[in-house]
Amino acid sequence: MVVVAGLLGRLALTDDLLLYLRPGMRPWLLAAAVALAVVTLACLVAHRRGGHSHDSHDHGHAGGRLSWLLVLPLVAIVMVPPAPLGSFAAARQESRRPAPPPAGEAGGYPPLPPPVDGAHEITLGNFVLYAHNDTGRQLDGATVRTTGFVTPAAPGEDGFRLTRFVLACCAADASPTSISVAGAIPPYPPVDTWLVIEGQWQPSPSGHEPDAPVVHVTSVREIPPPRDPYET
């Protein structure tokens, strides 16, 4: 229990947490680590005060050896964190739109953030939502900047896709959301390469926006994997 409490505390106090949970879960995980440590300390104090027989001593040693077997998988996960979900996982899940942003004035989508260096910074998930649902069509003619990792284009699409996983609670319920990148010059970056792109939305001529809205890029820049690989 001491080891588990320590490992939970380590997760809560480092960026390893972001491989498993939403950032907002950090206080709860830290509280769980503290509570487990307190309960463990209380059990140890009660055990020392109550004493134990020779038989219970033997059984305690056997139980202790077995308990370490339960701890080992958790130790392995923390010491060797898994890679964030990428193109392999995205190819095996249906793309899902994340929850819409809070309503702005008059019930519409809030205004795009002010441009920085000529482009509106927007999450990939919110870009998809604005392209599909924003009745104000704020993306029309707007240059946007967003971040994601490369996944293959769907049949019939040019270029490649830019994808990001969105968490509801933890990595177990993460779902991918994607945009289709057009206008990039081949050769295209390998899958799972993280990019920052700038470009403009290309609305579907049919008026029915595809699951992965099209962005015609004017700038493509490779970056290291971000500290927090998921959107929330």
Position 46 scores a pLDDT of 82
Note whether 36 and 4 are within 8 A (CB): yes
- Compute φ and ψ for 170, nearest 5 degrees: -145, 175
- The position carrying tokens 């942003």 is 101
Position 106 scores a pLDDT of 47
| Domain-embedded: residue 229 | no
* Residues of the chain with confidence (pLDDT) below 70: 3, 51-71, 73-82, 96-108
> What pTM does this model have?
0.75
Note whether 158 and 182 are within 8 A (CB): yes
32-45, pLDDT tens digit by residue? Answer: 878 877 887 888 78
Co-location of 104 and 192 in the same domain: yes
How many structural domains comprise the chain?
2
| Domain-embedded: residue 125 | yes
CA dihedral 196, 199, 202, 203 (to 10 degrees): 70
Tokens linked to 165: 């996983």
Co-location of 58 and 94 in the same domain: no
Range of the domain at 145: 87-222
Note whether 120 and 127 are within 8 A (CB): no
Co-location of 120 and 174 in the same domain: yes
172-191, pLDDT tens digit by residue? Answer: 788 999 999 999 999 999 99
Position 34 scores a pLDDT of 81
Note whether 131 and 215 are within 8 A (CB): no
Note whether 166 and 232 are within 8 A (CB): yes
C-alpha 170/C-alpha 185 separation (Å) is: 36
Co-location of 187 and 207 in the same domain: yes
Co-location of 69 and 114 in the same domain: no
Tokens linked to 84: 């964030």
Note whether 108 and 137 are within 8 A (CB): no
Q: Choose one of 25, 48, 79: the last residue of a domain.
A: 79
